[in-house]
Structure 1
């Protein structure tokens, strides 16, 4: 009975978040009309980058720096559009896969500390204002995340996500994501205390193709300070940037950066190379 009540409360919170998300007013998405956006989508490759692809390395700021605490983190992420055909409600279907790895490259045997596997099946939809100009992008998805291990080291969870992305200020894009989690009690029963029921991501372009700031916020289901803040600065040192390649400085503070030791608090600063996603370039003027 208690579990059912908790699930109902989580669903209510999720629905409330969805109502808030779709009430967000877009102030900087007027670059694309419904017609030219459809033309642009028709020319997109079926296979493309989903999240950032990167290799970064760094050190902790909250503990002693040594060959065990310093590490590297890399991520590969791609997206496959399954159909551009007009599905019901003018939606499109796609698959994504993201793999994030924590690699202790400074230890003698170069061990991988944790590897997180994250596939999803998603349905996307573009939203337009009364003037038929792009207002936002919505995504409904089923997502699985696990570390592929067994016994006491096994970590996994599943969730139904609702995500909405829109321009909120000049050169600023915001993504609001809420999830309804399930099948997470075995191996990590208190996971929601650290990852919560959603996240907010803000990305501001100071100079197109040159300097970008990105911030992601999560708050766990607790009255304490559990959760995470992840800040990134992207900088392109070259004269042009036709392949979305940058140097990236990342600072992660909080818990649940990876699944294995999700309860562990940490503060890590890393720097390295990234091929940045351009999934939501429609919200940046001139980026077509």
Structure 2
């Protein structure tokens, strides 16, 4: 209950802070952007990274590779009530024991979903942020004692707090998860927070993700430093440090510390929030 109250207060704070800025994109510009948006596009970041554990001896057992594929398909634009748009999402994250004999896959997590998006405008009718109501299913496609799955209804909000800082908060209500993993919420909690700081716009950025479980010190801290070497592409070099639980579904209770490096094809889903804000 305490975690849910904290995330509710955080969402209220986020909406309040976003009112302190006036995005230069008007309602008309956002509607025009939605009309021209491609049907298929990147949803979350698509990446491939490989690395080692920082808490265990380095070996083929503790080193691995991780990659993610994520996209969305727009079903409607702003034809639904309240200027909302409907889209499907799909994200697949794989853990690959690439350094072991025969290079087996340790686990693949599948996450399909459907979401309703809505631009949020301030008193000047300029964009303040984007809100999403989403239903997701996540599973590892395994059976028997290795089966892991859960479902959630979530509410997310993305906004710019300043010229260089983007904030994303997401809170969820889980359902149908107790059969496979009854203690899952002790490790994933009821929501997460993302902060992205642009040291050099569209060139060098730092992303921080925080997630708190409902029990003790369970949770996750994930930091990503990304650098784009070529201005003509959307590919970044990435260094990632992951510390905490629930990196994968199969061993969600395991506390891991991994440092990995690789490349990422960044999502441009929230690029319009990077427009320079004017203080009201």
3-state DSSP of counterpart to 1:89: helix
Question: Which segments of 5 or more consecutive residues in structure 1 lack a partner in the other structure?
Answer: 1-5
Residues 79-125 of structure 1 show CA distances to partners (whole Å, capped at 9, x for unaligned) of 10001142111110000000000000000111110110001100000
Distance 1:263 1:106 in 2: 24
Shift of 1:40: 1.8
3-state DSSP of counterpart to 2:18: coil
Residues 18-33 of structure 1: pairs in structure 2 closer than 5 A:
18-28=11-21, 30-33=23-26
Distance 1:202 1:176 in 2: 9
Of 93, 99, 102, which residue of structure 1 is paired with 2:92? 99
Distance 1:92 1:144 in 2: 20
Question: Which segments of 5 or more consecutive residues in structure 2 lack a partner in the other structure?
Answer: none
The RMSD of aligned alpha carbons is: 1.8
Q: Does 1:159 align with 2:152?
A: yes
Q: Does 1:278 align with 2:230?
A: no
TM-score, normalised to structure 2, is: 0.93
Of 185, 206, 223, which residue of structure 2 is paired with 1:192? 185
Partner of 1:256: 246
Residues 245-283 of structure 1 show CA distances to partners (whole Å, capped at 9, x for unaligned) of 110100000000000000111100000011011111111
Is the alpha carbon distance of 1:177 and 1:130 closer, same or farther for their aligned partners in structure 2, counting shifts above 3 Å?
Answer: same
Q: Which range moved further: 23-32 or 173-182?
A: 23-32
3-state DSSP of counterpart to 2:161: strand
Is the alpha carbon distance of 1:94 and 1:277 closer, same or farther for their aligned partners in structure 2, counting shifts above 3 Å?
Answer: same
3-state DSSP of counterpart to 2:186: helix
Distance 2:195 2:3 in 1: 24
Count of residues in correspondence between the two structures: 276
Q: Does 1:117 align with 2:110?
A: yes
Distance 1:217 1:199 in 2: 6
Shift of 1:285: 2.4
Shift of 1:31: 2.5
3-state DSSP of counterpart to 2:187: helix
Q: Does 1:81 align with 2:74?
A: yes
Q: Does 1:232 align with 2:227?
A: no
TM-score, normalised to structure 1, is: 0.91
Shift of 1:35: 1.1
Residues 178-231 of structure 1 show CA distances to partners (whole Å, capped at 9, x for unaligned) of 000011101211000000000000111111221011000000002x21100010
Of 56, 63, 71, which residue of structure 2 is paired with 1:63? 56
Of 40, 45, 52, which residue of structure 1 is paired with 2:38? 45
Is the alpha carbon distance of 1:120 and 1:268 closer, same or farther for their aligned partners in structure 2, counting shifts above 3 Å?
Answer: same
